[in-house]
Amino acid sequence: MPLRKYRSKRNLAESHEPAGGIPVSKKNLQFVIQKHAATRLHYDFRLELDGVLKSWAIPKGPSMDPSIKRLAIEVEDHPLEYGSFEGTIPPGNYGAGKVIIWDRGYYAPLNGGKTKKEQEKNLSEMYEKGEIKFLMYGDKLKGEFVLVRISNDESKNQWLLIKKKDDYSNKEEILKSDRSVVTGETIEGKPRNASKVTKPHQTKPKIDDIETNRDKIFWPNEGYTKGDLLDYYEAISPYLLPFLKNRPITLKRYPDGIEGNSFFQKNLIDYVPNWIKTIAIEHSSKIVNYLLIDDLKSLLYAVNLGAIEIHPFLSKYPEIDFPDLLVLDLDPVEISFDAVIEVAKTAHAFFTELKMTHFFKTSGKRGLHIMIPLNTKYDQDQVKNFAELLANLIYERIPLITSLIREPKKRKNRVYIDYLQNGRTKTVVAPYVVRAVEGAPVSTPINASELKKGLDPKSFTIKTMPKRVQQHGDIFDNMFKKKNDISTCLKKIGKAIEK
Ligand code: MN
């Protein structure tokens, strides 16, 4: 339904609702659900599509129970700006009554789409067919949903909203969660706490508020505490954050320090504060809600959970399936770090010959990572195949001390060139991240000129790093200024082999 129809129904002078014009949408497709106390209470379910909000009125509201089908009546398209409206539509106006933003967030078609445009194309096709399958990523609604058109009459405006069975589906009444995700108020105007009125656009929590147990010993031998770890991450954050932003994160948590229990956390199933960003990603048939770390506050939130190690994806949202980084991990098995240096120098000479941009960092443990920035034209499988080729070519140049064999027993006294860290949902420890081993070493960017015998990766720790970055600056600063194109590289490799 055209926007014109919506505008004509409104008296813009009287109502404070947005009139349309200023785009608020950015990289991902937004959705908003407004609880609307009009003549009859209903929920306005709105999905951003092709520059407008496709809109449905759901009298009974959405449900997280897959056995429940909720009638959704399609209404006029609304301007995107309407999605941020919360307040009262004055009497006499169309839709008069109070509106709260009951939920909002991002959504994406179930069949994916590399860019927003592709996602919109997929959604439009499903819309035309009358069956829209999509993933929601909101504060309240999460996971897979489907909207199915049921009316065959002229109006074609009757649909059903159904939750699909997944990690998020449940029998609990989601509508009991009745407050605005923006102000915390109910539609009756009751604030979150009787004593404390929450203002719109809540005040940001201070970092101090999220830090706990600063004195807890995390590295018993050195006596480093959780506070030391938090201070390190805060100091290094200007260098670290650019490598975390928009990348789904796996945390390795050590709530009781390096000698206590530890676990990897991908799915954020615990309660997380509403200012923490997450991203829903499909793993075979499951949806995993990954943490995003875009600012200092979210970084310290994660560290406060005991996350010593932070492992981001090699791709960024929204181009999750198109890596912008390829990593080769040089992993020594019963052989010195000097051998790793030899292999790295060989790789450096080779990549320089090919004019391929490449960077080095210590893994923080025993190995070295070669980081190769990519334009995002190739999917994970293509990147993985290319990584395998590069690993083979390095091996051919220095076969006596390297190995491509996976089983550790069969590659003793060799540097294993591991290309298998490239692939869907694989993660690699980020530069400047601390490792949970003795000495609190850090995965440290190093200059190619530093690839010399005697380089000791253990010398880069949470205590020495702040000084090192002051001296060397950010060695990875130019990482994404010149990205490699795989097919261009392949042509150069072909020529190099012919010679
Ligand atoms: Mn309404």
Tell how far the Cα of 14 is from the centroid of ligand 1, in angstroms: 17
User: What is the SS3 assignment for 290-329?
Assistant: EEECCCHHHHHHHHHCCEEEEEEECCCCCCCCCCCEEEEE
Band (pLDDT 50/70/90 cuts) for residue 10 is: low
DSSP string, 433-495: PBPSSTT-BB--EE-GGG--TT--GGG-BTTTHHHHHHHH--TTTTTTTS-B-HHHHHHHHHH
**Separation of CA 98 and ligand 1 centre (Å):** 9
The stretch 111-118 carries a mean pLDDT of 88
Residues contacting residue 296 through CB under 8 Å, at least 6 positions apart: 207, 234, 237, 241
pLDDT at 271 over 70: no
- How confident is the model at residue 14, as a pLDDT? 46
Q: What is the dihedral of CA 361, 389, 493, 445, to 10 degrees?
A: 0
Q: What is the pLDDT of residue 274?
A: 73
Q: Is the pLDDT of residue 15 over 80?
A: no
Residue 350 CA, ligand 1 centroid: distance in Å:
63
Give 30 Cα–ligand 1 centroid separation in angstroms. Answer: 18
pLDDT of residue 143: 92
Distance 137 CA to ligand 1 centre (A): 22
Q: How confident is the model at residue 146 (pLDDT cuts 50, 70, 90)?
A: very high
When pLDDT is averaged across residues 143-150 and rounded to a whole number, the result is 95
pLDDT tens per residue across span 166-220: 888 999 999 999 998 888 889 987 765 433 333 334 333 444 456 678 999 999 9
Instruction: Report whether 33 contacts 103 (CB < 8 A).
Output: yes
The per-residue pLDDT for 203 is: 35
**How far away, in angstroms, is 117 Cα from ligand 1 center?**
28
Q: What is the pLDDT of residue 21?
A: 31
pLDDT at 212: 76
pLDDT in tens, 351-399: 999 999 999 999 999 999 999 999 999 999 999 999 999 999 999 999 9
Instruction: Compute the distance from residue 174 Cα to the ligand 1 centre, in Å.
Output: 19
Q: Is the confidence at residue 223, as pLDDT, over 90? A: yes
Calculate how far, in angstroms, residue 173's C-alpha sits from the geometric centre of ligand 1: 21
pLDDT classification of 284: cutoffs 50, 70, 90: low
Say if residue 3's pLDDT is above 50.
Answer: yes
Give the C-alpha separation, 448 to 356, whole Å. Answer: 14
Which positions ≥6 away from 15 have C-beta within 8 Å? 89, 90, 93
pLDDT recorded at residue 211: 66
Q: Given a cut of 90, is residue 79 above it in pLDDT? A: no
pLDDT at position 443: 98
Distance 51 CA to ligand 1 centre (A): 19
Examine the pLDDT at 7 and tell me if it is beyond 70. Answer: no
Helix (H, G, I), strand (E, B) or coil at 282: strand
Burial class (CB in 10 A: 0-12, 13-18, 19+), 318: buried
Q: How far is the CA of 43 from the centre of ligand 1 (A)?
A: 7
Distance from residue 38's CA to the centre of ligand 1 (Å): 7
In angstroms, what is the span from residue 376 Cα to ligand 1's centroid? Answer: 41
Distance CA 383, CA 368 (A): 19
Residue 12 in this model has a pLDDT that exceeds 60:
no
388 near 417, Cβ under 8 Å? no
Could you please report the per-residue DSSP string of 49-109? ETTEEEEEEETT---S-TT-EEEEEEEEEEEGGGGG--EEEPTTSTT-EEEEEEEEEEEEE
Which of the four pLDDT bands, split at 50, 70 and 90, describes residue 310? very high
What pLDDT was estimated at residue 113? 85
What's the CA gap between 352 and 345, in Å, rounded?
Answer: 10
Which residue has 């179930």 as its token pair?
A: 110
Angle of helix 296-304 relative to helix 226-240, nearest 10 degrees? 150
| The model's pTM | 0.61
Ligand 1 mean position to 352 CA, how many Å? 61
Residue 56: CA atoms inside 13 Å, Cβ hemisphere, count?
24
When the pLDDT of each residue in the chain is averaged and rounded to a whole number, the result is 88
What value does the mean pLDDT take over residues 480-497? 93
More confident residue, 32 or 18: 32
**Crossing angle of helices 337-353 and 380-397, rounded to 10°:** 110
- CA 42 / ligand 1 centre spacing (Å): 7
% of the chain exceeding 90 in pLDDT? 68
Interval between CA 32 and ligand 1 midpoint (Å)? 12
Tell me the mean pLDDT in the region 100-115. 91
